Amino acid sequence: MALVNRSLVTIDDLSNGEIEALFSLADEMTDSMSEQFTLCQGKVLASLFFEPSTRTRLSFETAMHRLGGSVVSVADAKATSLAKGESIADMARVVGSYADIIVIRHPWEGAAKVVADYAGVPVINAGDGGHEHPTQTLCDLYTIVKERQAIRGLRIALWGDLKHGRTVHSLAYALARFGATILFHPGQGLEMPEHVIRKLTTEYGGELRRFEAVDAGGGGLFPLDAIYMTPSQPHQLAMMPDVSVQVELEMGVDALYVTRLQQERLSDNADDEGVKESYPVVDKKLLNEKEFERTMVMHPLPRVGELAYDLDADPRSMYFKQAARGVPVRMALIALLLGVKEVSSPEEDDWKHDYPVYCGGLGVRCRNPKCVSIQDTEVKYIKHQFQIVGNQPLTLRCIYCEHEIYPPYIASSDWHDGTLESKKYHSANSHWARDIKPENLIAFDTRDEAESHGFKPSHFVRNNC
């Protein structure tokens, strides 16, 4: 397996086979930790953390030191030229000339991708806003495999802040790919984002069953928002979805993945006070229910009240093991990206979708206010680019933060007969959404926008058909 010179920005940058091979290397390194010290001698890791971190930052730096390498670090954006208005792209070019590999955490979603695009060395995403945290997911998967030997067929509940929690976004994608059933239990108003749900259901082939807020989802289990079942369900149960859900819940939960409320990503309005007050808590009383008899309790940490301290001595609690396993997992990842280690893996998985890219250059931009692509310092470098992931309705996914937009109007850069009279724009829900070639597609948010670029409305706009 050749991971050398590659970057890890999202969990989808690694195939299932590559993840399993990385875990084998982590096992090998755990068993012979002192023998790894010469692997990265002379190599430098740049540790760039522009948000607070304890476990992730220290485990990366410990991993590099245990491999015999050196670390240079930044822990405060105010102490860098970013505070002077320098772009992330410029910073990446400079740091890439100093270090052999970069680890970055940043509050802007998609920032790690920008660094990977410009640094010229491998880049590891240590968390970009509420987007993803792929190395935490590697630690989570590794813990599940070590404790349960396999992931396929397990029932894993995601608990708490599913809206802002980057760890659960990465983990949900990976669990779906590995064939787990996912139970969703969000806090009030903290449901999994729709673009994450869409990706789960359109790209991994499973089925999502939603529940009313007052519905306990069947049985005595805690209330559910939804359950995601993979295509590996027995055929008879798949034909009877309600029965299938009931059977899944009666079999209990294999792992409960608890997350804290991401207060730093909340607004200051009054509604958020209700979110804090009603946030669900995991304690001994919950775990005494029969459904949790064999349940592993996991947490990426830190915890701030949602996970009772009296569970620490419970043999089902795995969160400190998760943290400890971060060192060998990140050692293996660094060694593979730097090419000082290689491992064999099965053939590449065929789950990844190759969507056409929208590069129209006119009209639309990401609407996620936390996306790196719309920040003032970055727009001089970054082009607004999207994957075309659907055309009924037209759906564009930002290549940086993965939020989706649905432009209402479209046009073609191939103006039919090439005359100004035929330079028309159309409703995005007309047949033109299917007929215009991706390389010719132009999308607009408003009629005024389309007409300001010289396009005239066609009858598909007037009739809205």
DSSP state letter for 374? G
In the prediction, which pLDDT does 94 show?
96
First vs last C-alpha separation in the chain: 50
In the prediction, which pLDDT does 435 show?
87
CA distances from 200 to 246, 264, 310, 314 (A): 21, 26, 35, 33
In the prediction, which pLDDT does 321 show?
94
CA distances from 329 to 24, 64, 205 (A): 10, 11, 29
DSSP state letter for 143? H
Is the CB of residue 157 less than 8 Å from the CB of residue 257?
yes
Is the CB of residue 79 less than 8 Å from the CB of residue 86?
no
Residue 433 CB partners (closer than 8 Å, separation 6+) = 391, 392, 393, 394, 410
Residue spans of beta strands (DSSP E) within 3-122? 44-49, 70-74, 101-106
Is the CB of residue 261 less than 8 Å from the CB of residue 306?
yes
Q: How many whole angstroms from its chain centre is CA 214?
A: 29
Count of CB atoms situated within 10 Å of the CB of 65: 16
For residues 288 and 244, what is the distance between their CA atoms, to the nearest angstrom?
25
- Of 128, 123, 145, nearest to 333 (Cα)? 123
Is the CB of residue 214 less than 8 Å from the CB of residue 199?
no
In the prediction, which pLDDT does 251 show?
75
Q: What is the value of pTM for the model shown?
A: 0.90
For residues 126 and 137, what is the distance between their CA atoms, to the nearest angstrom?
11
CA atoms within 13 A on the CB side of 259: 28
Residue 168 CB partners (closer than 8 Å, separation 6+) = 158, 160, 161, 162, 192, 257, 259
CA distances from 83 to 49, 239, 440 (A): 14, 57, 39
Please tell me the CATH code under which domain 135-320 is placed: 3.40.50.1370
Residue 218 CB partners (closer than 8 Å, separation 6+) = 245, 246, 249, 250
pLDDT per position in the chain (465 positions), as tens? 589 999 999 999 999 999 999 999 999 999 999 899 999 999 999 999 998 888 999 999 999 999 999 999 987 666 666 766 889 999 999 999 999 999 999 999 999 999 999 999 999 999 999 999 999 999 999 999 999 999 999 999 999 999 999 999 999 999 999 999 999 999 888 999 999 999 998 888 888 888 764 444 444 566 788 888 877 655 444 444 554 555 566 678 999 999 988 877 776 554 556 677 778 888 898 888 888 889 999 999 989 888 999 999 999 999 999 999 999 999 999 999 999 998 887 766 556 778 999 976 776 889 999 999 999 888 888 888 899 998 888 999 999 999 999 999 999 888 766 666 778 899 998 888 888 888 889 999 899 999 998 899 988 785 554
Residue 68 CB partners (closer than 8 Å, separation 6+) = 36, 37, 38, 39, 40, 41, 43
In the prediction, which pLDDT does 217 show?
45
Same topology between domain 11-129+323-337 and domain 135-320: yes
Residue 465 CB partners (closer than 8 Å, separation 6+) = 427, 429, 430
Classify the C-alpha dihedral 23-24-29-32 as positive or negative. Answer: positive
Is the CB of residue 64 less than 8 Å from the CB of residue 40?
yes
Q: Containing H/E element for 396?
A: strand 394-398
Domain ranges of the chain: 11-129+323-337, 135-320, 357-462
In the prediction, which pLDDT does 220 show?
53
Please tell me the CATH code under which domain 11-129+323-337 is placed: 3.40.50.1370
pLDDT per position as a tens digit, 204-239? 888 888 876 444 444 456 678 888 887 765 544 444
Is the CB of residue 156 less than 8 Å from the CB of residue 180?
yes
